[in-house]
């Protein structure tokens, strides 16, 4: 398990940032570089059925070392990192025996990782942390998941007295831009159930996630010289403001938590004659989710009627759904993960994901797939950090799951 830090430090050196503007599969060719490195490592471990597809999905099989008939389990992590912050030239810092004080990430830019801003740091006093240098993200999402899976595989191979059934592995591209399950080969993977290793702090175990949709809004205007604009000009920016104002303030991400849903304005660009806005809509409850989408339609209709013109057009597209519906019939797989954590000395933290994972899509495709922690914090930005011990525990939980499934 102690090798996990070195694996993680190697993987984060690969720039695998995905690109939502790209139409290629994968969205960035550079994701193949990490996939090829992992393919080589899997070959060195002598795993079977290793396949790297032309769409950058990497699969492998650890054969059973027992004659007992047990379910085939899978573990999945994603290759890409978020487009939100650069992943080029990641330069990690190792903070040994953290003292509970401010960590200067970048003195020149005055970037400080402080327990005042991030109180969870206090939980890791005395532990070794991996942080950024204040210029890039770290990449623990999800290279910590990859490192945990690879470390667990190596551990199982080197400790054959631990009996286990067939274990399937998959590393996927483009999870961060919502495409990670698009070309996942369920038939080739051929597992009874799986776990994404893609969560946050130690102990997180998630089998509920948001229902999600995108909302794209186009507002048309009419540009007239402001000196003669009375009763002539239609400023699309102002109409866009009217539209946005009709969504309740309390249903914004910054005012919600737990099971509370939100409308999130992610982008707005405009001039007088046209403004475009992009939103994401999220809620765990299916009924509330549908009501939120209907509200967006109602607002557009209301404003078009009030302006006596079809100024606003909207497009709503569902992205993914709450996997709880698909996990509840097989809740034993959640209980297995809980027990694996308890056996590792970890208190399970079962909570809804305020987001989505490949596991959500895969669950609806027929592969039940809860989500397990990696140990990372502050994903997608320069304040990202991960305790080394948390990564070790993630790998231990994977090993424990394989043991429990065999012994049940």
Task: Write the DSSP assignment of 199-211 as a string of letters.
Answer: E-STTEEE--B-E
Residue tagged active-site, from 15, 154, 175, 198: 175
* Residue in the structure block whose two tokens are 């009217």: 242
Is 17 in the same domain as 43?
yes
For residues 155 and 297, membership in a common domain is answered with no
Q: What is the pLDDT of residue 133?
A: 96
pTM: 0.89
Average pLDDT, the chain: 96
Domains in the chain, number: 2
Same domain, 275 and 368: no
Return the pLDDT at 344: 97
| Low-confidence residues of the chain: pLDDT under 50 | none
Please answer whether residues 203 and 376 qualify as being in contact, where contact means their C-beta atoms are separated by less than 8 angstroms. no
The predicted structure's pLDDT at residue 358: 87
Strand partners, 214: 280, 317
Residues 129 and 189 in one domain: yes
Structure tokens at 34: 């990490």
* Cα–Cα distances in angstroms (integers) from residue 82 to residues 139, 265, 269, in the given order: 8, 18, 22
The CATH code of the domain that includes 58 is 3.40.630.10
| Tokens describing residue 379 | 């994903």
pLDDT of residue 321: 92
Do 293 and 255 share a structural domain?
yes
Give phi and psi for 100, each to the nearest 5: 85, 5
Which of 15, 80, 142, 174 is flagged as catalytic?
80
Shared domain check, 294 and 225: yes
The answer to whether 185 is a known catalytic residue is no
pLDDT at 355: 81
Angstrom distances, CA of residue 16 to CA of 121, 396, 402: 27, 26, 29
The answer to whether 177 and 27 have CB atoms below 8 angstroms apart is yes
Q: Is 175 a catalytic residue?
A: yes
Distance CA 311, CA 11 (A): 49
Pairing relation of β-strands 193-199 and 167-172? unpaired
Out of 280, 298, 320, pick the residue that ends a domain.
320
Looking at the fold, whether 187 and 47 belong to one and the same domain comes out as yes
pLDDT score recorded for residue 178: 85
The 3-state DSSP class for residue 35 equals: helix
Closest listed residue to residue 75, CA positions, set 370, 347, 403: 370
CATH number of the domain to which 260 belongs: 3.30.70.360
41 shares its domain with 123: yes
- Judgement on whether residues 112 and 186 belong to the same structural domain of the protein: yes
Residues 261 and 276 in one domain: yes
CB 56 within 8 A of CB 173: yes
Do 125 and 248 sit in the same domain of this protein?
A: no
CB atoms within 10 A of CB 146: 27
Domain interval for residue 263: 211-320
CB within 8 Å of 273: residues ≥ 6 apart: 220, 221, 222, 223, 236
Residue 227 DSSP one-character state: G
């Amino acid at each position: 398990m102690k090798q996990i830090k070195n694996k993680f430090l190697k993987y984060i050196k690969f720039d695998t940032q995905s690109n939502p503007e790209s139409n290629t599969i994968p969205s960035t060719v550079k994701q193949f570089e990490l996939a090829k490195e992992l393919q080589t490592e899997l070959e060195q471990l002598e795993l079977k059925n290793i396949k790297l597809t032309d769409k950058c999905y990497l699969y492998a099989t650890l054969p059973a070392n027992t004659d007992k008939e047990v379910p085939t389990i899978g573990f999945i992590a994603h290759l890409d990192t978020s487009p939100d912050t650069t992943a080029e030239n990641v330069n990690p810092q190792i903070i040994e025996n953290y003292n509970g004080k401010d960590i200067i990430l970048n003195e020149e830019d005055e970037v400080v990782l402080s327990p005042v801003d991030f109180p969870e740091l206090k939980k890791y006093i005395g532990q070794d942390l991996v942080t950024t240098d204040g210029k890039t993200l770290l990449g623990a999402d999800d290279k910590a998941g990859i490192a945990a899976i690879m470390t667990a595989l190596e551990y199982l191979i080197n400790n054959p007295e631990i009996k286990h059934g067939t274990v399937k592995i998959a590393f996927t591209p483009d999870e961060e831009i919502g495409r990670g399950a698009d070309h996942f080969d369920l038939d080739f993977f051929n597992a009874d159930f799986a776990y994404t290793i893609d969560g946050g702090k130690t102990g997180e175990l998630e089998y509920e996630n948001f229902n999600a949709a995108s909302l794209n809004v186009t507002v048309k205007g009419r540009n007239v010289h402001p000196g003669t604009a009375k009763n002539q000009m239609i400023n699309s920016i102002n109409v866009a403001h009217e539209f946005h104002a009709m969504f309740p303030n309390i249903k914004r991400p910054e005012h919600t938590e737990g099971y509370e849903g939100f409308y999130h304005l992610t982008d707005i660009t405009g001039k007088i004659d046209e403004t475009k806005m992009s939103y994401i809509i999220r809620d765990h409850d299916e009924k509330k989710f549908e009501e939120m989408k209907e509200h967006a339609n109602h607002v557009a209709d209301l404003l078009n009627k009030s302006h006596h013109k079809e100024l606003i057009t909207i497009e709503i597209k569902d992205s993914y759904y709450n996997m709880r519906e698909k996990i509840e019939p097989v809740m034993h797989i959640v209980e297995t993960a809980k027990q694996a954590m308890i056996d590792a000395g970890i208190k399970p933290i079962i909570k809804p994901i305020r987001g989505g994972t490949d596991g959500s899509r895969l669950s609806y495709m027929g592969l039940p797939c809860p989500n397990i922690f990696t140990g990372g914090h502050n994903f997608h930005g320069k304040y990202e950090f991960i305790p080394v011990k948390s990564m070790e525990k993630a790998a231990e939980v994977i090993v424990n799951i394989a043991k429990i499934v065999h012994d049940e």
